[in-house]
């Protein structure tokens, strides 16, 4: 029987935030300049070696949707006798778990932007990219540095895999075009950045799940993979024919994640030096947050599980959010700090969840 100690974790969140995230105030003014951020992290590689962390050969990020920690980890049906998420709960128990992880804000888009740019850019909507055609009303575009810039400068291969997207480099807002669509552009942050969306070579790295399957079959998974299931499999479920009610949607998402994880591990691409993050964009309707989230507009308490290629079962009560995940990637691969990840006082890399050598 699974422990039920996760069931009411939210009760400790407010106190932990006050202790762990620093004062609110004007967070933007606290971000070091790029030059200061780079000098502050000049010794990061030697620090990693000293702490005996493995430098990953691959990092995989799987992003799910719109459920809080208590909805997922140890969640049961109404009777209390059947787990809704047997795979994810077991993954949380057997691997590393952040018990105080949060979305950056609401709704979805600012969280996805934060995952690859270290900033939500003040966005509080799910409007489309200005590079979509026809151009959507109220669209967003960013001529900003992002993780792709850092990865390519370091010679690190990358790809984004999007379930139900019709073709590589697709810039449409939804697919299929009728109805609400299984693929949603708001879950594809790469499509919002000018130096990705206007570059055919980079656009080709925004791929479908058909490509993911071929890549895994050929053991050619890039060093960084960003994987987003469709609306029926990411637990969002806004499409009318997705499983419902909410219990069924959660169960379908658990099965979908299990399939993805098993296929990745079974492909041979996931080695003893690989890391896989499974996290949610935002946690229900809560505004709890930390670590440079907008004051009183945080993204809620989310599950965040880290699976390593070597056995490692750790639990961290350090407050983390999407900036922390990006900071971890940057730290492990010695990449420049982007946006709020340069605020090393409030945004920490998740080193306490990593396996040592």
The answer, yes or no, to whether the previous bond of 265 is cis (omega within 30 of 0) is no
Which pLDDT belongs to residue 48? Answer: 47
pTM for this model (two decimals): 0.87
pLDDT of residue 239: 80
CB contact at 8 A, 225 and 61 = yes
pLDDT of residue 134: 86
| C-alpha span between 183 and 279 (Å, rounded) | 18
User: Hey, is 7 helix, strand or coil?
Assistant: coil
**What single string gives the DSSP state of each residue in 42-88?**
TTHHHHHHHHTBPPPSEEEEEEE-S--HHHHTT-B-TTSSSBS-HHH
- Candidates 10, 2, 124, 127; CA nearest to 67 is 10
Phi-psi region of 155 (alpha: psi -120 to 50; beta: other; left: phi over 0): left
Residues in the chain: 357
C-beta of residue 324 within 8 angstroms of C-beta of residue 307: no
Q: Which whole-number Å values give the CA distances from 152 to 157, 158, 194, 196, 230, in the listed order?
A: 7, 8, 15, 12, 27
- Quickly tell me which residue has 């003893």 as its tokens: 272
Six-digit token pair at 77? 């049906």
Q: Is 115 left (phi over 0), alpha (psi -120 to 50) or beta?
A: alpha
> Considering only CA atoms, which of 172, 209, 199 is closest in space to residue 62?
209
Q: What are phi and psi of 226, to 5 degrees?
A: -115, 110
Q: What is the pLDDT along the chain (357 residues), one digit of tens a residue?
A: 333 333 333 333 333 333 333 333 333 323 333 333 333 333 444 354 435 678 999 999 999 999 999 999 999 988 888 999 999 999 999 999 999 999 999 999 999 999 999 999 999 999 999 999 889 999 999 999 999 999 999 999 999 999 999 999 999 999 998 777 899 999 999 999 999 999 999 999 999 999 999 999 999 999 999 999 999 999 998 788 788 788 999 999 999 999 999 999 999 999 999 999 999 999 988 999 999 999 999 999 999 999 999 988 999 999 999 999 999 999 999 999 999 999 999 999 999 999 987
Residues 327 and 147: beta-carbon distance below 8 Å: no
CB 150 within 8 A of CB 223: no
**218: CB partners within 8 A, 6+ apart:** none
CATH 3.40.720.10 for domain 12-353, yes or no, is: yes
Model pLDDT, residue 16? 35
**Can you spell out the DSSP letters for 278-312?**
EEES--TT-----TTPPTT----EE-EEEEESS--
Q: Write out the two tokens for 327.
A: 């900071």
Contact 278, 304 (CB under 8 A): yes
At 177, which helix (H) or strand (E)? Answer: none
């Amino acid at each position: 029987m699974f422990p039920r100690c996760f069931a009411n974790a939210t009760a400790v969140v407010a106190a932990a935030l006050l202790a762990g995230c620093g004062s609110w105030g004007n967070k933007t003014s606290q971000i070091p300049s790029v030059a200061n951020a780079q000098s502050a992290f000049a010794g990061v590689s030697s620090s990693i070696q000293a702490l005996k962390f493995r430098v990953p050969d691959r990092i995989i990020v799987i992003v799910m949707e719109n459920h809080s920690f208590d909805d997922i980890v140890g969640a049961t049906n109404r009777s209390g006798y059947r787990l809704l998420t047997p795979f994810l709960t077991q993954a949380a128990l057997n691997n590393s778990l952040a018990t105080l992880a949060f979305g950056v804000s609401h709704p979805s888009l600012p969280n996805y932007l934060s995952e690859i740019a270290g900033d939500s850019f003040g966005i509080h909507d799910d409007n489309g990219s200005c590079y979509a055609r026809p151009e959507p009303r109220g669209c967003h575009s960013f001529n900003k540095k992002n993780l792709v810039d850092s990865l390519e400068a370091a010679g690190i291969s990358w790809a984004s895999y999007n379930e139900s997207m019709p073709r590589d480099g697709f810039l449409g807002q939804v697919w299929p075009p009728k109805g609400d669509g299984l693929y949603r552009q708001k879950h594809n942050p790469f499509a919002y950045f000018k130096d990705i969306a206007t570059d055919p070579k980079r656009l080709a790295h925004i791929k479908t799940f058909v490509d993911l399957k071929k890549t895994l079959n050929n053991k050619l998974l890039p060093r960084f993979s960003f994987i987003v299931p469709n609306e029926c499999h990411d637990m969002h479920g806004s499409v009318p024919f997705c499983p419902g009610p909410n219990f069924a949607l959660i169960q379908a998402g658990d099965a979908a994640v299990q399939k993805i994880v098993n296929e990745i591990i079974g492909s041979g691409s996931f080695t003893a030096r690989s890391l896989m993050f499974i996290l949610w964009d935002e946690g229900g309707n809560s505004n709890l947050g930390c670590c440079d989230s907008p004051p009183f507009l945080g993204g809620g308490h989310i599950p965040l599980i880290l699976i390593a290629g070597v056995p490692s079962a750790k639990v961290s009560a350090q407050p983390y959010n999407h900036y922390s995940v990006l900071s971890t990637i940057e730290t492990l691969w010695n990449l420049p700090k982007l946006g709020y990840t340069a605020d090393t006082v409030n945004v920490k890399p998740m080193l306490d969840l990593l396996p040592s050598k």
